C-alpha cells in the first residue's frame, strides 16, 4: 500500500484529495499539512474532509525523515510547493503536483528537482480535461488555419490566479501543436479600442463568480461555423481521483523525470487521428 502525504489538506482541493486517497484501496494517508498558524492544525484530516477519522493529525510541516511517507501530493502555493518538492528530492521520493500560478523560473526549478525524482506536474488532473488537451491539439492542426481561437474559463470567486492553469495548459497544447511560441500569440486581456483581432492569436477570457468548480471551453470560430471543446467540472473529486491515479502511476516509474497527466493516461502514445 502506498503511503501518501498531502500538503494543503485544509483547502478545498486538499479535502477532496483526502477523500480520494481514503477511497482508494491502494493508498493510505499517513501525513497531512496546513499553512502555519491555521486553525485546523491539530485536527484529524479525515474529519476535516467530512469523512470521519483518518487517524492522521494535520501538522504545519511534512515529516522530514526518510521512511515516513512514500509519495507527496501537493496542491498548495508556488513557494510552499517548491519547499516541499525540495524535501522530496532530498529524500528521493516521487511527487504529484497540481499547484497553479507558478512562473517560468519556478517551473524551471521544478524541472531541476525532477532530474532527481519522478515528478508528475499538471494544471488539471481530471481525465476529461486531459483528453480535452489532446482533442484541442488535434482540432488546432485541422482548424487553426481558418479559425480564430479563444479559450474561455470560469471559476469560483475565491480563485486567486487568472487565467486558470488549465486554460493556459490548453493554450500551450494548441501552441505546441502549431509550433508557435505562446508568448507571441497569447492575448490575455482586452480593454478599450483594441482594433481588429490579430490573425493567429489565441485569446483568453476569464469569469469569476459563485461556487463554479471549473468550466473550460476552447472555441474555434471561422466564417460560417464554430467548433467548441468544452469541459465542465461539478465536483473537485474528479480532479482528486485523477491525482490519486497519478500517484499510483508515478510511484511505479523507475526513472526520474517530469511527467504529466497525459503520460499517466497513455495519451502521448495514442494516435487519435
pLDDT at 65: 87
> Mean pLDDT, consecutive 10-residue segments, the chain of 273 residues?
96 95 97 94 95 95 93 96 97 96 94 98 92 94 96 95 93 95 95 94 97 96 97 92 97 95 80 43
pLDDT at 272: 42
- Report the predicted TM-score, pTM, of the whole model to 2 decimal places: 0.81
pLDDT at 249: 97
**Catalytic residue IDs:** 155, 159
Q: Give the DSSP letter string of the chain.
A: -EEEEEESTTSHHHHHHHHHHHH-TTEEEEEEE--TT-TTTTSBHHHHTTS---S-BEESS---STTS-SEEEE-S-HHHHHHHHHHHHHHT--EEE------HHHHHHHHHHTTTSEEEE-S---HHHHHHHHHHHHHHHHHGGG-EEEEEEEE-TT--SSS-HHHHHHHHHHHHHTT--HHHHEE----S---SPPTT-EEEEEEE-TT--EEEEEEEEETTEEEEEEEEES-THHHHHHHHHHHHHHHT--S-EEE-HHHHHTGGG----
* Domains of the chain from N-terminus onward: 2-121+236-269 (3.40.50.720), 127-233 (3.30.360.10)
Amino acid at each position: 500500500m502506498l503511503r501518501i502525504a498531502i500538503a494543503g489538506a485544509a483547502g478545498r482541493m486538499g479535502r477532496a484529495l483526502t477523500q480520494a486517497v481514503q477511497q482508494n484501496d491502494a493508498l493510505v494517508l499517513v501525513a497531512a499539512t496546513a499553512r502555519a498558524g491555521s486553525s485546523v492544525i491539530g485536527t484529524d484530516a479525515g474529519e476535516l474532509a467530512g469523512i470521519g477519522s483518518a487517524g492522521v493529525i494535520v501538522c504545519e510541516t511534512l515529516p522530514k525523515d526518510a521512511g515516513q511517507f512514500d509519495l507527496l501530493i501537493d496542491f498548495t502555493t508556488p513557494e510552499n510547493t517548491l519547499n516541499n518538492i525540495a524535501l522530496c528530492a532530498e529524500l528521493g521520493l516521487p511527487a504529484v503536483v497540481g499547484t497553479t500560478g507558478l512562473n517560468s523560473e519556478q517551473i524551471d526549478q521544478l524541472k531541476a528537482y525532477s532530474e532527481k525524482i519522478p515528478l508528475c506536474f499538471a494544471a488539471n488532473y481530471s481525465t476529461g480535461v486531459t483528453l480535452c488537451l489532446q482533442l484541442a491539439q488535434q482540432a488546432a492542426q485541422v482548424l487553426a488555419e481558418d479559425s480564430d481561437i479563444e479559450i474561455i474559463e470560469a471559476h469560483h470567486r475565491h480563485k486567486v490566479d487568472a487565467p486558470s492553469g488549465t486554460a493556459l495548459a490548453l493554450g500551450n497544447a494548441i501552441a505546441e501543436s502549431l509550433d508557435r511560441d505562446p508568448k507571441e500569440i497569447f492575448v490575455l486581456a482586452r480593454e478599450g479600442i483594441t482594433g481588429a483581432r490579430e490573425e493567429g492569436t489565441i485569446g483568453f477570457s476569464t469569469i469569476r463568480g459563485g461556487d463554479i468548480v471549473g468550466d473550460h471551453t476552447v472555441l474555434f470560430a471561422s466564417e460560417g461555423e464554430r467548433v467548441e471543446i468544452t469541459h465542465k467540472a461539478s465536483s473537485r473529486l474528479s480532479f482528486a481521483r485523477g491525482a490519486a491515479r497519478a500517484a499510483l502511476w508515478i510511484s511505479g516509474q523507475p526513472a526520474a523525470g517530469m511527467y504529466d497527466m497525459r503520460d499517466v493516461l497513455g495519451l502521448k502514445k495514442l494516435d487519435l487521428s
